[in-house]
Amino acid sequence: MTRPFDVAVLGGGVLGNFIAYHLARAGQRTCLLERGYTAGGTSGATHAWIYVSTKTPGHYGRFSYESSLLYERLEAEHGVDFQYERSGGLSILWTDEAVEAAHAMVAEQVAAGVACEVLTPEQTAAREPLLSPTHIKGAVYGPLDGCVNPFAVMYHMNALARSHGVDFRPYCEVTAVERDDDAFVVRTRGGVVRAAKVVLAGGVWTRDLARMLGFEAPIRPSRGQVLVSEPMPQMVEHIVANGSIRQLRERGVILFGRVMENDQTANLNTYDGLQAALRDVLRMAPGMGAVRVVRSYAGIRPKPFDDLPVLGEVPGQPGVFTAVTHSGVTLGPIIGLSLAELVTGRPTTYDLTHYGWDRVGATA
């Protein structure tokens, strides 16, 4: 019988690739299983922001910031190009109540070492001329916010993982996970894998993987929808939240639209969803009305029960670890390193106090 892997990572999206890479670097014989091909699922259906400024509470903003720094270190160490750009971000405030809450939030973020500030409508429009001050009350500006190319990230990390010995198996949808003495038997449409430990990193499909092992993962599906423009001259300088506007530097294409449709599992665009996304975009940026849309896409994101990552070994499930977050692109580097440390029993580099299973309690 073939010797079992040390770890099987179930899910080959952005989190799975970072986790597999760090496990292999730690000397773990690792198998990475993906139902399709890397970047073919939710991780490739995203704006791919590296958002920091409004990730609350403060510890979460700091956690996100530390992850953004790891992108820079990985690029420098391996000479790869994630097309990482720290452009700065604007989170639009629509009401006076939102402005008041933003001042308190910014104070907490700054105390945690995350730079950001509240802007007036006029200051917002001066910083991002695309925006109109007419229908907004201001914005939170974060100079640390940025974005990457998610395809570049996943292709580079997959190649780096494989170069360190990871056995990557695409088109191997998991159909069953069973315990067998001191190992796990993972049955897939492409064969059977045995491993001493498993990491569930399948995004929203982690719910299904968890049920195979007899427990509930505390997440729900949330559908997002995005519109895509034809190539345009440069007209967007920052990433803009609340309308989710981002322009790709390399092609001039604009990605825009923000909807969060909880408990929707159909991975498709809808007329109502796209219209709702457009309403906010046109209220704050009327100039976007002249942009021609050429296509749209959707993605089903995992939304943890309290919006914070759920990381680590599952209580009552020795050898089973989860990596669950709705911010996989932002947190991929830090979760990859942290999970590898947890799986191998090493002290963690970053504080994971707020992201463990101990807070889940009866919701699991």
The angle subtended at Cα 293 by Cα 290 and Cα 294, nearest 5°, is 145
In this structure, the answer to whether residues 132 and 22 fall within a common structural domain is: no
Tokens coding 1: 């019988």
Residues constituting the chain: 364
Last residue of a domain, one of 289, 304, 319: 304
Q: What is the mean pLDDT of residues 356-364?
A: 75
In this structure, the answer to whether residues 296 and 160 fall within a common structural domain is: no
DSSP conformational letter for 22:
H
In this structure, the answer to whether residues 338 and 229 fall within a common structural domain is: no
Q: Of the ranges 196-205, 250-259, 288-297, 333-342, which one carries the lowest mean pLDDT score?
A: 250-259
In this structure, the answer to whether residues 31 and 131 fall within a common structural domain is: no
Contact of 5 with 32, CB cutoff 8 Å: no
31: in domain: yes
Contact of 75 with 83, CB cutoff 8 Å: no
pLDDT, position 363: 44
Last residue of a domain, one of 288, 304, 320: 304
274: in domain: yes
**pLDDT grade, residue 250 (50/70/90)?**
confident
61: in domain: no
The angle subtended at Cα 344 by Cα 341 and Cα 346, nearest 5°, is 55
In this structure, the answer to whether residues 297 and 233 fall within a common structural domain is: yes
pLDDT, position 242: 81
**pLDDT grade, residue 364 (50/70/90)?**
very low
Q: What is the mean pLDDT of residues 204-229?
A: 96
Q: Which tens digits make up the pLDDT trace of 36-69?
A: 998 888 888 888 999 999 999 999 999 999 999 9
**pLDDT grade, residue 186 (50/70/90)?**
very high
Q: Which residues, other chains included, contact 265 with Cβ-Cβ below 8 Å and sequence gap of 6+? A: 204, 221, 223, 300
In this structure, the answer to whether residues 253 and 343 fall within a common structural domain is: no
In this structure, the answer to whether residues 16 and 125 fall within a common structural domain is: no
Give the integer Cα–Cα distance in Å for 131 and 111: 29
**pLDDT grade, residue 329 (50/70/90)?**
very high
Indicate whether 150 pLDDT > 70. yes
- Give how far the C-alpha of residue 37 lies from the chain's centroid of Cα atoms, to the nearest Å: 17
In this structure, the answer to whether residues 296 and 319 fall within a common structural domain is: no
In this structure, the answer to whether residues 290 and 225 fall within a common structural domain is: yes
Query: What is the number of structural domains in the chain?
Result: 2
Give the integer Cα–Cα distance in Å for 13 and 240: 25
Tokens 């430990």, located at residue? 197
In this structure, the answer to whether residues 113 and 214 fall within a common structural domain is: no
Indicate whether 328 pLDDT > 60. yes
13: in domain: yes
Indicate whether 108 pLDDT > 80. yes
98: in domain: yes
Q: What is the mean pLDDT of residues 70-93?
A: 96
3-state secondary structure of 117: strand
Tokens coding 262: 């909880």
317: in domain: yes
pLDDT, position 280: 87
Domain extent for 231: 88-145+220-304
Q: What is the pTM of this model?
A: 0.95
197: in domain: yes
CATH number of the domain that 267 lies in? Answer: 3.30.9.10
In this structure, the answer to whether residues 118 and 165 fall within a common structural domain is: no
In this structure, the answer to whether residues 212 and 351 fall within a common structural domain is: yes
Q: Which tens digits make up the pLDDT trace of 289-322?
A: 999 999 999 999 999 999 999 999 999 999 999 9
Last residue of a domain, one of 260, 282, 304: 304
80: in domain: no
CATH number of the domain that 186 lies in? Answer: 3.50.50.60
